[in-house]
Structure 1
Amino acid sequence: MKREIMITGDGSKTIHMPDLNEQYHSKHGALQEALHVFIETGLEYFVEVSLSQKRDFKKEPLHILEYGFGTGLNAMLTAQHKSNTFMEYTALEAFPIAAEEVEAIDYGKLLEDQELFAQLHNASWNKKTQISDSFFIEKIQTTFEKLDYDQKFDLIFFDAFGPRTQPELWTQPIFDAAFKSLKNGGVLTTYCAAGQVRRNMQSAGFTVERLPGPPGKREMLRASKEF
């Protein structure tokens, strides 16, 4: 299948698959989408709520699960985030991108940290790797359907290809497993706001909010596992 590098609306790059009319990030702005959906509405929201509840992240690290490591953009933005938070980041990916694609998207240049971008992509698969004093990553090469964790994660970044392209990744069984993997009080964020996706999340047990989306999208979803 043909794959090409696309310049998105904010000047950042993504990988485009013209045969599917699908890309790894929003064509309206890869960086803006990642910051809005996963960092601001996900990470920063969760950290703020947790700190208001007196959580000490040095004693209890923040555990994040990403559905779809892809280009590594979400992981890099998380690792760069200045929140004084110890993080353990688990990323699922069935089909890692090619080395030449990593070089072409060059988020290391965009985000002014070539070393970090290289570390994330060079980290071994299926093994926990220390990236910094406060950030560990474990990239797992597997499909979403094989997820089986029990109350391990605080925060989920759900960044699969859209339901038009891969509807099987947005079903209730997928969200059942995601719900099970979250701790009570945990949060899931995604760029997708489709009605059936929201209903599947609710059927899995989530409390779901529709929130303003990133550029080019009216809404996004944030789902919570209530105490």
Structure 2
Amino acid sequence: MKADVRLMITADGSHTAINQILDKTYHSVHGAYQESQRVYIELGLFAAFEMFDDQELCIFEMGFGTGLNALLTAREAERHKRRINYVAIEAYPLPSDEARLLNYDDLFGTNYLPSLHESPWNEPVDLTTYIRLTKLEEQLQNLQTSSRFHLIYYDAFAPTAQPELWEPEIFEQLANLLLPGGILTTYCSRSYVQRNMRAAGLTVEKHPGPLHKRDILRAVKR
């Protein structure tokens, strides 16, 4: 089922989408790019590059959405010449006519968006020399996989919109997807989210967030 969305420009000039059923944005209205760059690239991807040096990275993204996190990851994979196997799950993909209007390629001088959104679901596609993308059209709760990951981008809608995706059972599932030393990053730093992560055996770190966001979380599987 396709998502019911409309696009808007955030404060840093990058697009986000608004889910019209949940009345929630996919990214911060203060800047979609600056949020994704801080939460997922700086705290997640760069840390994983250092921790798992000279390995092909396996990344799992919860909430493919607009494809912004995947696009920024592809850009860094090219810059660092690092191979990445990128698996993203999305229950409600963006309609193709809306995805074509996203301005990320224009902003960043890339050409990833058509491949990101028009590639088939549920099968791997070589997006570039350095990144293989597999998009899964599925709910996280129903995911069945034997794959394990160095890094998880947890980008579900906020607990006020989808509380079921922030429960202890979800973080147990995510912890089981991580390899030893693996990292999970997310924008949500609520106290009970931290408790649920710790209960799943993750070591939780609070870090300064992007503009207008005091704290964000990075969790590590020790």
TM range (shorter): over 0.9
Residue 155 (str. 1) matches residue 151 (str. 2): yes
**1:69 and 2:64 equivalent?**
yes
**In 1, Cα distance between the equivalents of 2:153 and 2:216?**
12
Deviations 1:164-207 (A, max 9, x none): 11000111111111000110000000011011111111111110
Q: Secondary structure at the match of 1:132?
A: coil
Q: Cα 1:148–1:204, aligned 2, differ >3 Å: closer, same or farther?
A: farther
**What residue in structure 2 maps to residue 32 of structure 1?**
34
The question of 1:99 aligning with 2:96 is answered: yes
Which deviations, in whole Å up to 9, do the C-alpha atoms of 1:95-150 show, x marking residues without a partner? 10001211222322122123x21111111100000111211000000001023345
Please say if residues 25 and 33 of structure 1, whose CA atoms lie closer than 8 Å, have aligned partners that are also in contact: yes
Q: Is the 8 A contact 2:100 2:114 kept in 1?
A: no
1:172 aligns with 2:177: no
Instruction: Give the Cα–Cα distance (whole angstroms) in 2 for the partners of residues 151 and 91 of structure 1.
Output: 12
Q: TM-score, normalised by structure 1?
A: 0.91
Separation (CA, whole Å) in 2 of partners of 1:177 and 1:17: 26
Structure 2 CA distance for partners of 1:182 and 1:12, relative to 1, 3 Å:
same
Asked if the contact 1:155/1:182 (under 8 Å) is kept, the reply is yes
Give the drift of 1:18: 5.5
Q: Are the structure 2 counterparts of residues 216 and 18 from structure 1 closer, same or farther at C-alpha, using a change threshold of 3 Å?
A: farther
Q: Is the 8 A contact 1:151 1:183 kept in 2?
A: no
How many equivalent residue pairs?
A: 218
- Tell me, what secondary structure is at the counterpart of 1:9? coil
Return the letter of the residue paired with 1:148: Q
1:223 paired residue number: 219
Question: Match of 1:125?
Answer: 121
The SS at the match of 1:192 is: coil
Query: What's the CA shift for 1:86?
Result: 0.7
2:100 alignment partner, SS class = helix
Which amino acid counterpart does residue 83 of structure 2 have in structure 1?
Answer: F
Provide runs of 4+ in structure 1 moved above 6 Å.
Answer: none
Question: What secondary structure sits across from 2:52 in the alignment?
Answer: helix
Query: CA–CA distance in 2 between the matches of 1:19 and 1:49?
Result: 39
- Given candidates 9, 13, 17, the residue that maps to 1:15 is 17
Query: Taking structure 2 as the reference length, what is the TM-score of the superposition?
Result: 0.93
- Alignment partner of 1:6 out of 2, 5, 8: 8
- 1:118 is paired with a residue whose SS is helix
Candidates 164, 182, 193, aligned match of 2:189 = 193
Gaps in structure 2 of 5+ consecutive residues? none
Cα distance in 1 for residues equivalent to 2:21 and 2:124: 35
Structure 1 residue matching 2:99: 3-state secondary structure: helix
2:72 alignment partner AA: L
Q: Distance in 2 between matches of 1:93 and 1:194?
A: 23
CA distance in 2, matches of 1:144, 1:79: 23
Is the contact between residue 40 and residue 153 of structure 2 (CA under 8 Å) also seen in structure 1?
Answer: yes
RMSD value over aligned CA atoms? 1.5
- Residue in structure 1 matching 2:49, options 28, 47, 50: 47
